[in-house]
Amino acid sequence: MKLHSVLRLAGLLAAAACLTLAYGMVGDWLILLSIPVMIIFWFLARGRSGFRAASGLLAMYVGLGVIGIARHASGLLMATGCVFALLSWDLSDPRGRSSVQARPGQATLLEKRHLQSLGVAAGASLLLAALASALRLTLPFGVVVLLALVLTACILYAVQYLRRSAGHEHRE
């Protein structure tokens, strides 16, 4: 439980540092005013639902990342910041933590598996982001649109399929 809180805070700080650094490198300091805005938002929204507030914060962070990239900030730094923001967001979700009354062994196992999976996801994401930023592919716009449409369709299909199968299992 304590480790979760420490990691969540560390993730938040790292994400904020990445954002600051990326914007600082292009000399766009004014946008950093959004960080106190995000903190105020967090304090105002966490009273209702901590996880929803964290989701709002993550969406805002991604939005800032997109604006940063549009202003020629480093994509790799922004992606790294997104990894830490995602890590912090996931750790704020109670679904990843065991209940207070769970047996110690079982509780540790859930948290261990959760942190392991999170570590794998973060590591793979950083590696893929680094690889992707190193690769320079130039594709025609039409191909990019087509690829994006195919990818969106794949995601939507996967989501629908998972929803349908979950519904079937629930009925059974």
Partner 1 sequence: MTSKASFISLLICGLLIAALVARNGQVLLLAVPFLVYLIVGLLQCPGDMSLRAWRTPSQAQVAAQEPLQVRVYVENAGPTLANLCVIDACHPAMAFEGHARQRSALPEGEGMQLEYRVRAPRGIYAWNGIEARASDPFGLFELRRDLPAFSEVRVRPAPLKMRPAPFQPQETLHAPGPTVARLAGTGTDFWGIREYRPGDPLRRLNWRLAGRYPHRLFTNQFQGEEIADFGLIVDARALSSASTLESTIFESSIQAAAALAEVILRRGNRVALLIFGENTSCLFPGYGKRQLSFVMRDLCRAKLGRNLPLRYLEYFPTRVFPAKSVIIAFSALDAADVDTYARLRSYGYEVVLVSPSPVEVMARTLRATRLNDRAVRTARLERAARLKTLLQMGVEAVDWDVDQPLDPLLQGAARAMTRRRNQ
Per CB under 8 A, residues contacting partner 1 are 55, 58-59, 62, 65-66, 69-70, 75-76, 78-79, 82-83, 86, 90, 93-103, 106-107, 109-110, 113-114, 116-118, 120-122, 124-125, 128-129, 132-133, 137, 139, 141, 144-145, 148, 151-152, 155-156, 159, 162-163, 166, 169-170
Closer residue to partner 1 (CB): 40 or 132: 132
Q: Least Å distance between CB 82 and partner 1?
A: 5
DSSP state of 33: G
Nearer to partner 1, 9 or 66 (CB): 66
- Min separation Cβ 55 and partner 1, Å: 6
Tell me the two tokens of residue 146: 């087509």
Distance from C-alpha of 136 to C-alpha of 97, rounded to nearest angstrom? 40
Per the CB < 8 A criterion, the answer to whether 19 and 31 are in contact is no
Quote the CA–CA distance of 117 and 122 in Å, as a whole number.
8
State in angstroms the smallest separation of the CB of 77 from partner 1: 10
Task: Tell me how far apart the alpha carbons of residues 56 and 52 are, in angstroms, rounded to a whole number.
Answer: 6
Comparing CA positions, the residue from 56, 63, 91, 57 lying closest to residue 78 is: 63
Q: Which is nearer to partner 1, 6 or 139 (CB)?
A: 139
Taking the least distance from each CB to partner 1, the nearer of 13 and 139 is 139
Q: 35 or 62, CB closer to partner 1?
A: 62
**Please, what is the angle between helix 104-134 and helix 75-91, to 10°?**
170
Q: How far is the CB of 119 from partner 1 (least distance, A)?
A: 10
Beta carbon of residue 43, minimum distance to partner 1 (angstroms, whole number): 21
Q: What angle do CA 77, 78, 82 make, to 5 degrees?
A: 115
